Amino acid sequence: MADPLLTGGAGGGAEEKSTERNITTFEKEDLDKGYPVNRIVTSRYNILNFIPKSMFEQFRRMANIYFLVLGIIALVAVQTNYYLTSVEPAGLLLPMILVVSISVVKDGYEDLKRHRTDAGIDAQIARRITVNGNVTSAMWSELTVGTPILLLCDDEVPADVVVIACGGVQGPTAYVETAAIDGETN
């Protein structure tokens, strides 16, 4: 009697399923269907939106808004004489500007490090399998949807790869370690 897990049915008369699978790769004309480019982007800012986005992030904090509003009220009082104030606007605004500036510079430096890390990952070399079966080198950012690649033992695998076949000393077995994704070790 055949194993029911392999035959797809519980009874002995069930027809066996084929273990063969056909996987097609995308041709060049299929890639024009709007797939995004294969680039890693973990950064929050670019050169055009750095100042507006970082200012928005800084003034989402209630403390910065509080000191800005008090500084504006004190500045209006000093400039217009509509009301009296004992607080100097510079005493409120200068420390706030210093704190916000330091935070913006820190955020910019951290985002620059993210851009450099992303560029390093995108520039990693992969082994691409061509249509005629040859193996060529390509950067990860040059790969497109459906490009078959060759991975060897201990290669780092991005999360968007489907393992089609594997082999080696242990036979057709692949061991996948997910420590880089979830931080846990097996």
pLDDT value at residue 180: 67
pLDDT value at residue 33: 64
Q: Taking residues 25-51, report their average pLDDT.
A: 77
- Which of 82-86, 164-168, 179-183 is the least confident region? 179-183
* Angle, CA of 172, 21 and 158, to the nearest 5°: 60
- Nearest to 78, CA basis, from 70, 88, 68, 69: 88
pLDDT value at residue 158: 67
pLDDT value at residue 111: 95
pLDDT value at residue 59: 94
Q: Is the pLDDT of residue 129 over 60?
A: yes
Q: pLDDT tens across 41-93, in order?
A: 889 999 999 999 999 999 999 999 999 999 999 999 888 888 888 888 888 89
Can you name the residues that pair with 138 across neighbouring β-strands?
A: 126
Q: What is the mean pLDDT of the chain?
A: 80
pTM of the entire predicted model:
0.66
Contact 86, 75 (CB under 8 A): no
pLDDT value at residue 9: 43
Q: Is the pLDDT of residue 143 over 70?
A: yes
SS3 93: helix
